[in-house]
Amino acid sequence: MTVETAVGLAVVWPLLGIPLILLVRRWPNLREAASLVTATSLFAMVTKVILPAVMAGGRPRLDIVEVLPGLQLAFEVEPLGMLFSMVASGLWIVTTLYAIGYMRGHHEENQTRFYVWFALAISGAVGVAFAANVFTLFVFYEAITLSTYPLVTHHGTEAAKKAGRVYLGILMGTSVGLLLFAMVWTYLAAGTTEFQTGGILAGKVGGWQLMVLLALYAFGTGKAALMPFHRWLPAAMVAPTPVSALLHAVAVVKAGVFTVLKVLVYVFGIDLLASTDASRWLTWAAAFTILAASIIALTKDNLKARLAYSTVSQLSYIVLGGALATYAGVLGGGMHIAMHAMGKITLFFCAGAILVGAHKTEISDMDGLGKRMPFTFGAFLLGSLSVIGLPPMGGSWSKWYLMLGALEAEQMFMMAVLMASSLLSIGYLMPVVARGFFRDAPLEHEHEHESDREGSGIREAPLLCVLPPVLTGIGCVVLFFFAEDLYLLLAGMLMP
């Protein structure tokens, strides 16, 4: 199998697993095994066949069809897309493991449907990652939206349907109303929408038009959750926790910020942005989102809601990194895609484990839970430290390069924003850990616990609800020591 064939096969591979999942749907163990096998084999294909070619400096390409002159449906794997494909395919494995424990432990209905739509969403994510141009990216970007809508509305309640309308309305509204217009404008101006190192707009679009076009891309990519187009993300928290993990770490929001960063690097080009100062306003929009969402997170007592606003804040780190239009800023933004994904999926896994194991959703009700669920709360601590950006956690490296990027751009205020955001993230994440480990459970529950446990103080959620967050929590530490590999991969973004 050639690398080019593997690129196309990786996009459709999750789709090939769907008939198998449906075929064995009456046997849950086989159905879930089919999902796991599909996820694991996709990750192996991405890392064992495609990654070595990209690390060697290649950019394997597969052309599918030319729609118009200069407008093709095509795939080409460059370093940033390589990273995103590894994040999506790798975290699909642990999310599937987690979903088995959660869906069974929480007695969710329509589990087969869940696994089918999940596979469709991963196919869309890989298609976005490997898109050779804005046109291909747009097609798969919309595929992610449509395939995740049934996941958001999975419970079928009025609240779920209302959240689904908000989700679909904002994401489709921004992409069709703004992103599609930006793509057409790019094609008319440059005669192509191909992603090229250094960009394709130099000498084609300038002045105020460059800033307007950038605004269409930034706000048209609603999945990046830049304020004020962020409401879909907190609304979607009515979905089952594995879906929340998919939204926040694996496919949806990462597809959004990946799109913004890829457009900044390969359509505009950081040299053009730096010389014209066209992205300066975007740094301020990102900074506002970072701080405003962090402050809102402080006010939320519901754990998933707090984590949702944390995600809104953290996503704008990646937008800020690209908008700084510096080498270090772009590298920091790219690294944060992986670092935040690992940290945030850990936190959402823990939130679901707490719901399954203790039936708690409000942070104010979690006093003493760390003593009952030490593995869950220990994993939450690791994920929190990575999101905060403290070593030895992977998140410390991405924030370090973002700080260097702000310094390169001589934007001291943005450095202050990054530092303030880290302090705010301590404020909204660490109280969860403190309540769990350092406060006692309410008196009426203490007697209940003593009689129920018969001397054992630990009562965790089912194993498959606890093992995945422990693994991803350890992954946050592992990424700290493998940051150089990510750096070397992403450095190829800015090389001709």
Query: What are the residue boundaries of the structural domains of the chain, listed by start?
Result: 1-277, 279-496
pLDDT at 467 exceeding the cut of 80: yes
Contact 287, 323 (CB under 8 A): no
Cα–Cα distance list, 203 to 19, 190, 200, 275 (Å) = 49, 9, 9, 12
For 318-360, what is each residue's pLDDT tens digit?
Answer: 999 999 999 999 999 999 999 999 999 999 999 999 998 898 9
Contact 50, 10 (CB under 8 A): yes
pLDDT at 125 exceeding the cut of 60: yes
pLDDT at position 445 is: 47
The 3-class SS string of the chain reads: CCHHHHHHHHHHHHHHHHHHHHHCCCCHHHHHHHHHHHHHHHHHHHHHHHHHHHHCCCCCEEEEEEEECCEEEEEECCHHHHHHHHHHHHHHHHHHHHHHHHHHHCCCCCHHHHHHHHHHHHHHHHHHHCECEHHHHHHHHHHHHHHHHHHHCCCCCHHHHHHHHHHHHHHHHHHHHHHHHHHHHHHHHHCCCECCCCCCCCCCCCHHHHHHHHHHHHHHCHHHCCCCCCCHHHHHHHCCHHHHHHHHHHCHHHHHHHHHHHHHHHHHCHHHHHHHCCCHHHHHHHHHHHHHHHHHHHHCCEHHHHHHHHHHHHHHHHHHHHHCCCHHHHHHHHHHHHHHHHHHHHHHHHHHHHHHHHCCCEHHHCCCHHHHCHHHHHHHHHHHHHHHCCCCCCHHHHHHHHHHHHHHCCCHHHHHHHHHHHHHHHHHHHHHHHHHHHCCCCHHHHHHHHHHHCCCCCCCCCHHHHHHHHHHHHHHHHHHHCHHHHHHHHHHHHCC
Computed over every residue of the chain, the mean pLDDT equals 91
Distance CA 119, CA 148 (A): 10
- The residues, ordered by sequence, that sit 6+ positions from 301 with a Cβ below 8 Å of its Cβ are 362, 363, 364
pLDDT at position 451 is: 43
For 349-390, what is each residue's pLDDT tens digit?
Answer: 999 999 988 989 999 999 999 999 999 999 999 999 999 999
Segment 79-88 shows an average pLDDT of 95
For 258-294, what is each residue's pLDDT tens digit?
Answer: 999 999 999 999 999 999 999 999 999 999 999 999 9
The rounded radius of gyration (Å) of the Cα atoms in the chain is 22
Q: Residue 109, Cβ neighbours under 10 Å: how many?
A: 10
Q: What is the pTM of this model?
A: 0.93
What is the band of 458 on the pLDDT scale with cuts at 50, 70, 90? confident
